[in-house]
Every structure is written in C-alpha cells, then in structure tokens.
Structure 1
Amino acid sequence: MISKFLREQKRYTQEELCDILECSQEKIISIIRKLKEYGILKAVKASDLQRDMTDLVDEDIEVADVEFGENEYFYVFTFVGIIVVAGCVLKCYPKYLLSVQEPKQELQQVIRVLEKYNSKEQIIRMFNDTSESSSFNLLAVLLFLIHDYYENDVYSNTEDIIESNGSGEIFWDKTINETFTLLSNNRPYYIDIKTKKRVNDDFDYFKRLHECILTKASNELKEADLLDFFEITEIDLTDEELTEFGDKEYILYRIENELSTQYNTRKQLVLKTMYAYIDRSGNIYDLDCLSLFGTNNYKHVWECICAEILDNQLDKTLGTLKLPIPLKPEYKSNAKLIELIEKPLWTSAERTANDTLIPDLITLTKEQFIIFDAKYYNAMLIKGKVPKGQPGIESITKQYLYQLAYQKFIDDHGFQVKNCFLLPTEKSEVENKGEVSLDMLSSLGLKNIKVRFIPATIAYEHFISGRKLDLNLLCL
C-alpha cells in the first residue's frame, strides 16, 4: 500500500500527484474526483501567483471536471489528518510545517490533538457525510473498535455455573433439594453444598467474533503504516477467520439477535459497529474505499486550542472574574462577559438582532484585559518586504472593534488592555512579530494589535495535557 505525506494548502499538479502516489493517470483522475466530491481537495487555475499563495480563496476554486494529462489546474488539499482512498494512505499535515517533507512526529502529535478535539462527540463517524453523498468511513470504525478494546477489553458474555463445595455464593435451593442433610438437635447440617458463580464464556460466539475483527483491524492498520500514527499497540488475539463464523447474512442475523437481548450501552455500541463492519464488508485496500480521520476546518481546531491553553473567559460570569476593582453596581454579576457586547438595533422593528461581534477569546489577569484572536495563517512578515499570507483588513478592523465593544467595562474596572493575533509556527520558541495598526482607529485611543507566532508543538502539549500557557512567554 502506498503511504505518502502531503501538505495542506500546497499547490500540486496532476503530474506531481501521479509521481507522489506512484500511480497511473487513470487512477489519479479517479482519486482526484473522489476527493473533490467530498470537499477535501479543491482545484484552482494554475498560475505563478497561485503557486505562491499559502491559503485558498473561495473565489479561486474551479468546479470543472478533471481531464487526463491536464496542466491547467493546481490541486489543493484542504484537510489535515489521514485519508485512505483507492488503496493509498494520504497523510495530510498542517500548512505551517514548511521545512520538513515527512513530519511523522509532528503529525502524530496533530492526531492526538484531533482525538482530544473530537472526544466530546459521543457518536462514531461511520460515514463521511457531505451535502451531496456519503460513504462508509471504515477507518473511523476500525479506530473505534481498537480504542474501545483497550479501554473496555474484549466483548464478553457470562454464564452461571453450579459447583459442589465451590468458592462462589451458596445456592440454597439446590443445596436443600439435592444434597444429603444431617439433623442434630433439630438443626440441619449439609455435608455438601451447592455453590453458584458467574464466569466469562470464553467460547462465546460474539467474543470470538470481536477478537477476530480486532485482529483483522490491527493487521490492516499495520500494513497501512498507521499503527504508529495513532499510537496503537498491535492486537493479535486469534487465528480465526471471518469465514469460520458463517456467511455474511448469518453473522448479521446473529448480531441482530444479540442486540435484541443486550441492554448494556457499551455492548450495544460494539455490536452495532461490528454489524456495520460486516455489512459493508470492505477493507482499506478497496479502490472504492474512502476513509477519513481529521478535519477540513483545522482553523477551528487552532481556535479551540488557543481558547483552552489561554483560559478563555468569554463564557464566565462577571461575578466570578478577577477584577482590579470590585464589580460596579450597574453590571449584573450573573451576566456573562460575552453578553456585554452590544447588539445592533433595527429601529423599524424596534428590536435588536441576535448576531453581533464575537471575539475568539479573552483572557483576564489581575490587571490586564487581553483580547486574543487565533489566526490559522502562514504569514510571511519580513522586514522590507510586502506582507504575504497575513490576516486581512476585516480581521484587523474587527480586532479593534472588540476593544471598542468592551471599552466601557475596561475603563470602569481599571484594566490595562492588550490586543493580539496568535498564529502557529513550526519554530520552537515564541516569535515576536511586532504589531499591526490603523492610524484612523489607533487615534481613537485603541491599542495596536500585537502579532505573536506560537510554537504549535508547545500549544499542542499544553492542550493535550490540559495545562495553561504562561502569558509571560508572549511578552505582551
């Protein structure tokens, strides 16, 4: 199986993709079409300007069909994570990793981040859903079964066994009715007693089926070179093959019957997942298989990471905040910080709209009111050169407006205000990239926006471990 690294947002030609995936033009065409169908690959007109761009603009995306041998388009991956398609494993790493071609360790860390980011969702992503179509997400099913096994062990059913003079609970009914009784002083004594205990049935059909599927899943991920990426230890529980459990219809029938008798939530989930696995009867080598683990909105992941490690307090109530001076009487202590932002009033309706300004995150110290904006950009900020790939004018103006929206609260409570963009970098230390300003807004007394590049690996370590980042590292 071909297993290759590809960078998010990099421009690839059809010929380059053929070379990377070591496949024919016919196969690369089918792969491109399938990835475009699910919105994880975009096409843009080929040009020198496009090749140098670090982000994708919606207006540039082309919807034309893929032709053989064309050089008219660049193809851009808008996905971070693992893609399994047509027997190929595509390991898509984040766009800010510019100096490495095969960032295995970095992508392993990204996978751990994505697992934690997705951990709040209690459903299994069995299907890749888009507005147009869906397909079975075999990779997600395999990963669920393996992670569940390491957390809860193999599926098991128990049976009650009766023993003579065993170590289990005394079964008085059988002891009284089936054993010899001695009487002494009108009291019964039992030489032999019947005991009852519950044991796991090692030959249970579903236990063996679960072991078979787990072993098969582990082998598939191993051959696809994915065990290391998901930090999974190889599983080898049985030599049995699926064919030994009966044909497809019989296995599904047995699972349906077992589901009707099980009320344990975890067992139901495992049975339903095994059912889907058998019913779809695919493997990651199939040409029609497309499985995903990751996201095509990594900017949301970066925003979530920054909010977690910098202790976002937008949803905190005012009464719980640490303020330089006590909360003024005109503010309700049970109101949230985000609720202080004014909503637009439409006079003809005499009502305010629901939508308003929403900052990414706000951090409060004893003296500082810090307005952060997490920006997932590859900004090229080099002295003497025109900035490239930086946040746009709308981001800059909104950041000023966030301060304006909170200015009264800031003044009323004696805060020092700071404003800052946070961008990821592959470097190992925080980079101070100065400020960005607009004189027409700075002249109103609003603070210029500081720009800081945060080492993604450090941010990820804090996010995974649940620790907060030391604000002193940002030198605000």
Structure 2
Amino acid sequence: MISEFVREQQRYTQKDLCRILECSEEKAIPLIRQLKEFGVLKAVRASYNQRDMSELLDEDIEVADVEAGEDEYYYVFTFVGVIVVAGRVMKCYPKYLLHADQPKEELRQVLKVLEKYNTNEQIVRMFNDSSEGSAFNLLAVLLFLMQDYYENGIYENTDNIVESNGSGEIIWDKTINENFAMITYNRPYYVDLQTRKRITDDHDYFKRLHECILTIASNELEDAGLLNLFELVGVDLTEETLNDFGDKEVILYNIEKELNTQFNTRKQLVLKTIYTYIDHSGSLYDIDCLSLFGTNSFNLVWEKVCAEIMNNQLDTRLGALRLPIPLKDKYSKQTKLIEIIEKPLWTVTGKTATDTLIPDVVSVSVVNGEWQFLIFDAKYYNAKLEPGMSPKAQPGIESVTKQYLYQLAYQEFIDEHNFSSVKNCFILPTEDDAVLDKEEVSLQMLSKIGLQSIKVRFLPAKMAYENYLSGRKLDIALLKL
C-alpha cells in the first residue's frame, strides 16, 4: 500500500499531490475532490506570499472545483493524524515539525496524544461527515477493534455448571438441600459441597466471529503499514473466513439476536461495531474508501495538553487553593477561580451577561520560593520571531490585548493575597528539545498602568506530550519566567 508523510498547513501543488498519491493527474483529481469534500484538504490561490505561509486564513480558502493540469492553486492539509483514501495512506504530522521528512517517532507520539484526548468521548467514530453526507470510517473501526482486544480480550460467553467439591463458589442452598450433614457438638459439617464453576464456550459463534474479524483487521492494518505507527501487535487468531459464518444477512441477524440478550456495555459496543463493519463491508483499498483518524483542530489538542501539564486551576474553588495568605473574607470559599472574572453589566437590564473572558490556563505556583500567579495562553502557531526581523505568523493583536485583560481581571485578587509576582505568557510548540526563550510582547499603553508584559516561550512538544501521557505536571521553573 502507498504510504507517505505530509505536513499540516504546507502548500502543495497538484503535481506534488500526484507524486504523493503515486498516480496520474486524471486519477488524482477525484481523490483530491474527495479529500476536499471531507474537509481535510483546502485550496488557496497560488501566490508568492502563500507559498511561505504557515497558517491558513478562512478568507484565503478557495471553493473552486479541481481541474487537471491547473497550477493556480496550492493545496493545504488541515488535518493531523492518518488519512486512508483508495489504498493510499497519508500520515499528516503537525505543522511545527519543520525539519523532518519522515517523523515516525514524533507522529507515533502525537497519535497516542490524540487517543488520550479522545478517551472521554466514549464513542467510535464509525462515520465521517462531509458536505454531501457521511461515509463509513473503516480505519476507526479497525483501530477500535484492535485496541479493545488488547485492553479487554476476546468476546466470550460463559456458562455456569455445578460441581461436587469443586474449587468455585459454594452454593449453600443446594448443598444443604441435597446433601447429608454430620452433626458434631450441635454444628453441621458437610462432607460434599455443591460448587459453581464458570466455563467459557470456546465454540461460541460470536467468540469465533470476533476472532475472525480481528485477524482480518490485523492483516489490513499491517498491509497499510499502520500497526507499528499505532504501536499495535498483529494477531492471527483463526483460519476461518466470514463465509464460514453464513451470508451477510445471517450474520447481521445473529448479531441483532445477541444484542437483545446482552446487557454488558463493553460487549454491546463490540457487537455494534462488528455489526457496522459487516453491514458496510469493504477494504482500505476500495476506491471509494476514505478513512480518518485524527483532528482538524489540533489547536484544541495543544490547549488541552498545556492545561493538563500546567495544572490549570480555573475550575478550582478558592477554598481549595494554596495562597500566600488566607483567603480574604470578601471571597466565598465555594467560588471558582474562573468566577472572579467580571461579567459585562448591561445597565438597561440591570443584569450581567453570562459570557466573559476565559483564559486557557490560570495556576498558582511556588517557583524558587516565590508565590507566582500564572496566566498562560496556549497558542498553536509557527511564529517566526528573530532579532532585527519583523514578526511573522505570530499571535494577533486580539490575542495580546486579551492576555493583558486576563491579568487585569485578576489584579485585585492578586494584590489582596500578596502574590510575589504575576507571570503572563504565550506557550507555543516547537520541535526543539529545549525551551526557547523568545523574550516578550508588550503594549506600552497597558504597561504604563502596571500590567506585566507577556512572555513568549516555545515549549518542546515532545516534552509536553510526555508529561501529558504520563499524567505529570511540567516544572514551571523550566520556562524561566
């Protein structure tokens, strides 16, 4: 199977995509249209400025149809993860990886981050939404079945049998009613005990069906070169084929009957996934197959990672916070840190609006013996900030002003509780191995009223992901704020 790496937000020409897809322009056109339809590929008008841009603005996106041989458009992947289209695997890595053509280890770690990020959803994304409806997401189904197998094992149905003097649970009612007791000192002793034993039916229809589909899934993912990328080990559980279980309608009917009698949540999910797989059938090689694992919004993933590793306390109640001095009486212990931020008052109504400023990360920390009030904004940008050069691809003025306002919103609370300092900082990802100190950004008119300039730090994505995956907090001292 054809397998290539592509970088998020990089500009590709039509010839570049033909090379990646290893096909002629005539064959590439329907594939490009398919990728655009599902929102993982965008078109922008080709220009000198666009060629070097690392961000995609909504106003730059073109909606024109794709024609063979055209060179007036660049094509931009707006996706991080894995795309499979018509037997071709495109491994989309994040845009901050600027100097790696084959970032296998980096993408493997990113996929693990995506898996953890999606854990709370408790759903299998069996279908992809497009502008013209939805389509079966075979890759997501195969990955779910494999990962579920490694976590929970094979689908099993068990039977309970009764034994005499077995090693299982004693069935006292049956023992007392069906056996003689020896009475010693007015106490009954039973020589024969009736016990319950649970056995697995190795020839169960659904156990065998699960094994068959797992074997097929393993082979498909191995052929696509994805087992290693997702850190999965292939399985070969049976030599049976789907034809051994009856035709499609028979298999689906049997699954429906089993679902009606099965109340275990995990087993229900496995049965429903198998049902969908059988019902839609197909292969990663199919010409109309487009499967996705990943996200169009990796900025939200970066925000979540930063919030986790930097101990975001926005939803922490004030009574549970460690503060330099005891909480002032004017604040309720039940109030959350986020609720301190003032809401707009519309005087004609006499009521405040429900919406207000919401920072990405706010945390209280002791760094080198100093109580710091930390305000972080996780920015997923490829900012170019070099001495003597105009900034490029940096956070915009609205981001800078909001960050100042976050500090202003908490300033009274900070002053009242004797914090040594307030640290305000943009956090951007980098492929480097060490934190990069990019000094700060400031607005003099706001600095004059006592607000701190905003620090700018590039945090190694690898370091951030390692902390996120292991559940550790980042050592804030590394940022040298």
**Could you say which TM-score interval applies, normalised by the shorter chain?**
over 0.9
| Structure 1 residues 405 and 168: CA distance shift in structure 2, 3 A | closer
| Structure 1 residues 212 and 414: CA distance shift in structure 2, 3 A | same
Deviations 1:411-447 (A, max 9, x none): 1111211110000000000010011111111111111
Count of residue pairs brought into register by the alignment: 471
| Structure 1 residues 400 and 208: CA distance shift in structure 2, 3 A | same
2:214 maps to amino acid:
L
The corresponding residue for 1:186 is: none
The corresponding residue for 2:66 is: 66
CA distance in structure 1 between the aligned counterparts of 2:152 and 2:345, rounded to whole angstroms: 54
SS in 1 for 2:112: helix
Deviations 1:308-353 (A, max 9, x none): 0010111111111111122111111110111111111122222211
| Structure 1 residues 382 and 157: CA distance shift in structure 2, 3 A | same
CA distance in structure 1 between the aligned counterparts of 2:190 and 2:103, rounded to whole angstroms: 72
CA distance in structure 2 between the aligned counterparts of 1:45 and 1:157, rounded to whole angstroms: 58
The corresponding residue for 2:315 is: 315
The corresponding residue for 2:108 is: 108
2:402 maps to amino acid:
K
SS in 1 for 2:261: coil
2:75 maps to amino acid:
Y
- Is residue 384 from structure 1 mapped to residue 392 from structure 2 by the alignment? no
TM-aligned CA deviation for residue 26 of structure 1: 2.3
Q: Which ranges of structure 2 fall in alignment gaps of 5 or more residues?
A: 183-188
1:33 maps to amino acid:
R
The sequence identity of aligned pairs, in percent, is: 69
CA distance in structure 2 between the aligned counterparts of 1:109 and 1:152, rounded to whole angstroms: 23
The corresponding residue for 2:432 is: 427
2:54 maps to amino acid:
T
The corresponding residue for 1:466 is: 471
Q: TM-score, normalised by structure 2?
A: 0.93
CA distance in structure 2 between the aligned counterparts of 1:150 and 1:391, rounded to whole angstroms: 42
The corresponding residue for 1:411 is: 415
TM-aligned CA deviation for residue 171 of structure 1: 8.3
The corresponding residue for 2:378 is: 374
The corresponding residue for 2:126 is: 126
SS in 2 for 1:365: strand
The corresponding residue for 2:207 is: 207
1:19 maps to amino acid:
R
Q: Is the 8 A contact 2:175 2:193 kept in 1?
A: yes
2:11 maps to amino acid:
R
SS in 1 for 2:120: coil
The corresponding residue for 2:252 is: 252
| Greater shift in the superposed pair: 426-435 or 126-135 | 126-135
1:74 maps to amino acid:
Y
The corresponding residue for 2:356 is: 356
Deviations 1:36-88 (A, max 9, x none): 11111111000010011110000100111111111111010110001111111
Deviations 1:116-137 (A, max 9, x none): 1111111111111256421111
Q: 2:444 aligns with which of 439, 444, 450?
A: 439
Q: Pairwise CA RMSD of aligned residues?
A: 2.4
TM-aligned CA deviation for residue 175 of structure 1: 10
- Is residue 365 from structure 1 mapped to residue 365 from structure 2 by the alignment? yes
Q: Which ranges of structure 1 fall in alignment gaps of 5 or more residues?
A: 184-188
| Structure 1 residues 190 and 116: CA distance shift in structure 2, 3 A | closer
CA distance in structure 1 between the aligned counterparts of 2:301 and 2:134, rounded to whole angstroms: 23
SS in 1 for 2:363: strand
The corresponding residue for 2:406 is: 402
CA distance in structure 2 between the aligned counterparts of 1:423 and 1:463, rounded to whole angstroms: 16
CA distance in structure 2 between the aligned counterparts of 1:409 and 1:176, rounded to whole angstroms: 71
The corresponding residue for 1:151 is: 151
Q: TM-score, normalised by structure 1?
A: 0.94
The corresponding residue for 1:137 is: 137
Q: Is the 8 A contact 2:37 2:131 kept in 1?
A: no
Q: 2:454 aligns with which of 449, 453, 473?
A: 449
